[in-house]
Amino acid sequence: MYQFNWLSPQFAFHHNTNFNPSLIEDDLLKLFEIEAYRSWANLELACKVETEETQKAMEEAEQEINSAVESAMDEFQRFAEEFEREAMAEYNSLVSTAEAAWKMGKSLEKAATNASKKYIEAALNSATNSMRSAWKGVSSRKVHPH
């Protein structure tokens, strides 16, 4: 653009003998062509730099996502292990309570069996004594006034 601004006033001076419009046109087009290529190269360089920065940012984002996923998986694993430990402790507690209840039930069953045997023995003894007493009364011909 500087060259264009410098060459423009020369168009006004047609009386200059060294003035050749075709040379100015060729030189001017070459300058514009050079400037266009320079702009294109700068644009490509800027695009390349932008692409590299974008790729770097994407790689960093991917690393952060991977780190976040890894942390979440570690936390989930710890949660699952803790949950399993608590579930196993609860299971063991329930099994222990059930075994204690089963033993107590067996003990109560034995006590009830012994109590019913003693009750039956006492009832048999009472009935036997009543029968003996009644038999003595019949054999002595005494009748009880009931």
pLDDT in tens, 72-128: 999 999 999 999 999 999 999 999 999 999 999 999 999 999 999 999 999 999 999
Which pLDDT belongs to residue 121?
Answer: 93
When divided into structural domains, the chain yields a total of: 1
Burial 17-44, CB ≥16 within 10 A → b, else e: eeeeeeebeeeeeeeeeeeeeeeeeeee
Q: What is the pTM of this model?
A: 0.44
Kindly state whether residue 10 falls inside one of the protein's structural domains: no
Residues written for the chain: 146
3: which 2 tokens?
Answer: 């060259």
Angle between helices 2-12 and 21-139 (to 10 degrees): 150
22: domain range? 18-114
Using DSSP's 3-state secondary structure scheme, residue 76 falls into: helix
Kindly state whether residue 51 falls inside one of the protein's structural domains: yes
**Residue position matching structure tokens 């007493």:** 133
